[in-house]
Amino acid sequence: MQECWHAFALALLATDYYTPELAFEILNTGVKSKFKPVDNDTLDMIEMHKTMTYTQIANIYGMDRTTVCRRVTKKPAKPINNKITNADTTDMVRLKETMAYREIGEIYGMTGQAVYCRIKRLNKI
């Protein structure tokens, strides 16, 4: 019970540095562990940045301000399109006569190299 009051006091008196969760972690382990955020945390950081600074968000997640900045401003990865059928690949072969692989890839959300490999694989079958 005494630890609860210590963590509460630490979080209350040093609000700029510690969240209640972080205060309990420091009291239990003695060190501040590294946080490994997942994609949902990045989405939360983007939402928080609408009303908070990078430093405030970094304190919540226990990471550096520049790391938060990099995660918030980084372009999201393109979604992988696994729904390309053999008919689409056949269309790619047809388009290959008039377009570059890169241009075909932009249509289907793929890289030019991926288009090349699909066409090559279809021709082997």
The 3-state secondary structure of the chain, one letter per residue: CHHHHHHHHHHHHCCCCCCHHHHHHHHHHCCCCCCCCCHHHHHHHHHHCCCCCHHHHHHHHCCCHHHHHHHHHCCCCCCCCCCCCHHHHHHHHHHHCCCCHHHHHHHHCCCHHHHHHHHHHHHHC
What is the domain extent for residue 105? 86-124
28 domain residue, yes or no: yes
Query: Same domain for 38 and 7?
Result: yes
In one-letter notation, the amino acid at residue 61 is Y
Query: Domain check: are 95 and 61 in the same one?
Result: no
Tell me, yes or no, whether 61 and 9 share the same domain: yes
**Average pLDDT estimate for 39-64:** 84
Same domain, 65 and 22: yes
Q: What is the mean pLDDT of the chain?
A: 77
- Note whether residue 80 is domain-resident: no
Mean pLDDT of 28-57: 76
Closest CA relative to residue 120, chosen from 82, 95, 92, 84: 92
- Of residues 36 and 41, more confidence is placed in 41
Residue 97 scores a pLDDT above 60: yes
Q: Write out pLDDT tens, residues 59-76.
A: 888 788 888 888 888 755
Residue 59 and residue 10 share a domain: yes
